Amino acid sequence: MPPKATVGDPVVLEADARARWASLEPAAWVGEDRDGWRLEIAPSGIVVPILRRSRLIGASTSLCEAVVVHLAVAGVDAVVDRVRADPRADDSLAADGRGPVQVMALRAGDRLVPLRPGTALLRVWPVVEAVELTGEPLTEL
The pLDDT value recorded for residue 7 is 58
Q: What is the pLDDT of residues 88-106, one digit of tens each?
A: 877 776 666 677 788 899 9
d(CA 128, CA 120): 23
**pLDDT at residue 94 in the model:** 62
Please name every residue paired with 111 in a beta bridge, in sequence order, or none if there are none. Answer: 108, 126
* Residue 1: per-residue pLDDT: 44
Query: Helix 10-22 to helix 47-73 angle, to the nearest 10 degrees?
Result: 160
Q: Quick check: helix, strand or coil at residue 110?
A: coil
Give the per-residue pLDDT at 59: 87
Extract the runs of DSSP E, i.e. beta strands, from the chain: 29-32, 38-41, 79-85, 102-108, 111-114, 123-126, 139-140
What is the structure's pLDDT at 2? 43
Mean of the per-residue pLDDT values of the chain: 83
